[in-house]
Amino acid sequence: MTNGLAPTGIEPATSPEWVDEILLRGPDDDICLYSGGPVDRGALRRMVARRQERLAEAGLRAGGSLALRLPPSTAYVATLLAGWRTGAQVSLLDHRLTAFEVDLALRRLAPQVVVEAGRVTSSPLSPFADVEETVTARAGRPAATPHAVIQFSSGSTGPSKVIGRTAADLVAEVERYTRIDGVPLPGERIVVLASVVHVLGLVGALLYGLHAGVQVRSPERLTGDSVLDAVAAEDSPATVLGVPFHIGLLASVVDPPRLPQLKRMTTGGEAVPAATAAAFTAKYDVPLGNMWGMTEVGVIATDLFGAHRPALEPAPGIAVVERDGELLVSRPRSPYVGLSDPGRWADGWLRTRDAGTVDPATGLVTVKGRLDSQVSVGGLKVDLTEVEATLAELPGVVAAVVLHDDVITAYAQLDARATAESVRAALAERLAPYKRPRRLHVLDALPRTTTGKLVRDRAVLREAVREESR
């Protein structure tokens, strides 16, 4: 099945007109966004036009370069579309980056115009901010590549990579979403918890929603009760889109109300432990869908009905193969801008660095974790993904990361039910001696990236342990 949309007729887009044709087209009174109040398409088009004029006053032209560092907000949406409508390349910088990180990124990108937050009047817990932006002209350089958007990888396993995607690539992904069974249908809603600065929220919620006539709505606050209030605010069906971290928000709600509007929750990012998935579906009686994707590609594979867990079905138009235990994804050209690992992309295939399998009979893909999770201990192979999954599913373990750092090393965040001693005892019952972590560090909170992913960079985790021991 598909989502019922008529064929889009989308052609590879290279000119600014794709914004009007793919994202802004529709009746003036169609409510496309909701953040503190409804925003219809007529109002959004006017916002985009005003910001386009302001960017032009700062010197932005077709072929120019714009760096956008705003929190998720209507100002962010309108400025992003204005930049694209101008024909400029837009680099997205997460608003939560430090001044040091921003300075490094701006030196790396050399944009001609920078848009940043001025006055922010909303609550820090609001996923969509009320913000007044500032526009600054800089002595930068025009876009050096044909990419419409420049993003940075999450940095969960090391330094971020610079990734470029063309307008045609973004349009192709939007069209890909329309062909995935289980995505929100026209007239429905997406309650978005994932950041619209990063690929899941950007394309899976914002761009797809604008194209398909699906209202994109954020909760008033990033709490479980507020998310459910956003679902209950209207009668139309709603899909909650987030990452595994957000499942915990909803799981924390005691005795949630019955919500016939709640159609499903869909998560991207890390795999959801089976016990967590079972607890969520038992509590809310709706499917917990899963998506696998990368900043470099967008959505790769999905299981929006939870029918194949942990396996996923490749998204339409995406080919996934397994080679020497690694998953490779079809990609016509390298997505990387500037210096990158020359072995990461070759001959139309992108190495994901994820271990996994592809079922030869069904084509279903099972992601087994990072490729570097396979280590040898005393001549015996250990899959660190298995160790981490076992640790993460123990009672009282809130989050866990397991790495090989000379020896198998575990980092865990616990609640009041667990202690380091109880965790070690439970692992002794579940894992063979050679698989057990030789070091276990208990932290008040595990480091996460700005997208909510657990950080797996050894240096960052070591520093977190040092900080808490002081």
Question: pLDDT per residue over 49-69, tens digit each?
Answer: 999 999 999 999 999 999 999
Q: What's the pLDDT at 6?
A: 39
Handedness of CA 104, 76, 56, 135 (dihedral sign): negative
Whether residue 13 has pLDDT greater than 50 = no
| Confidence class for position 451, pLDDT limits 50, 70, 90 | low
Amino acid present at 266:
T
Distance CA 105, CA 6 (A): 41
If pLDDT is split at 50, 70 and 90, which confidence band does 360 have?
very high
The pLDDT score that the predictor gives to residue 375 is 81
| Domain 7-368 homologous superfamily, CATH | ANL, N-terminal domain (3.40.50.12780)
User: pLDDT digit string (tens) for 27-49?
Assistant: 999 999 998 899 999 999 999 99
**Mean pLDDT, the chain, whole residue set:** 89
Mean pLDDT, to the nearest integer, of 114-118?
A: 94
Residue 401 has a pLDDT of 92
Question: Which of 280, 278, 304 is closest to 292 using CA atoms?
Answer: 304
Terminal Cα distance for the chain, rounded: 57
Domain extents for the chain? 7-368, 378-469
382 pLDDT tier (thresholds 50, 70, 90): confident
The bridge status of strand 215-217 relative to strand 189-192 is parallel
209 vs 278, more confident: 209
* pLDDT score, position 156: 47
What is the average per-residue pLDDT within 383-389? 85
pLDDT tens across 328-347, in order? Answer: 999 989 999 876 667 889 88
Task: Please report the pLDDT score of residue 339 as a whole number.
Answer: 62
Query: Residue 154: what pLDDT?
Result: 57
* 333, 391, 439 from 412: Cα distances, Å: 39, 8, 11
Give dist(CA 219, CA 278) in Å, integer.
Answer: 24
Q: Measured between alpha carbons, how far is 325 from 17 in angstroms, rounded to an integer?
A: 42
On the question of pLDDT at 3 being above 70, the answer is no
Q: What percent of the chain clears pLDDT 70, i.e. is strictly above it? A: 94
Q: What is the pLDDT of residues 74-107, one digit of tens each?
A: 999 999 999 999 999 999 998 888 888 888 889 9
**Is residue 110 pLDDT above 70, yes or no?**
yes
- Give me the mean pLDDT over the 294-322 stretch: 94
Can you point out the beta strands (E) in 74-184?
Answer: 89-92, 113-120, 131-137, 149-152, 162-165
Q: What are phi and psi of 237, to 5 degrees?
A: -60, 145
The domain defined by 378-469 carries CATH number 2.60.40.10: no
Confidence of residue 203 (pLDDT cuts 50, 70, 90): very high
